Amino acid sequence: MTAVQRTRSNRPEALRAARARRHEHQAQGVWRSRVRHRPEPGGGGAGLAKSTPLVLLVDDEQAIRTICRVNLEGDGLAVVEARGGAEALEKIRSQHPSLVLLDVMMPGVDGWSVAERLAADEGTRSIPVVFLSARAAREDRLRAQELGAVGYVVKPFDPLELAGTVRDVLERIALGEREELNRELADPA
Is 1 contained in some domain?
Answer: no
Strand partners, 153: 132
Kindly report, residue by residue over 82-130, the tens digit of the pLDDT: 999 999 999 999 999 999 999 999 999 999 999 999 999 999 999 999 9
Question: Is the residue at 44 inside a domain?
Answer: yes
Q: What is the pLDDT of residues 34-78, one digit of tens each?
A: 344 444 444 444 444 457 899 999 999 999 999 999 999 999 999
Looking up residue 71, the CATH number of its domain turns out to be 3.40.50.2300
Cβ proximity of 185 and 140 under 8 Å: no
What is the structure's pLDDT at 185?
86
Q: What confidence tier does 4 reach under pLDDT thresholds 50, 70, 90?
A: very low
pLDDT of residue 111: 95
User: Looking at the domain assignment, is residue 105 inside a domain?
Assistant: yes
pLDDT above 50: residue 11:
no
Predicted confidence at residue 51, as pLDDT, reads 75
Domain membership of residue 131 (yes or no) is yes
Which residues are paired to 72 by β-bridges?
none
In a domain, 52, yes or no: yes
For residue 2, being part of any structural domain is answered with: no
Calculate helix-pair angle for 111-120, 85-95, nearest 10 degrees. 30
Q: Tell me whether residue 4 is in a domain.
A: no
In a domain, residue 6? The reply is no
Range of the domain at 102: 12-184
Contacts of residue 173, defined as CB under 8 A and 6 or more positions apart, other chains included, come to 128, 150, 181
Whole-model pTM: value is 0.72
Total domain count, the chain: 1
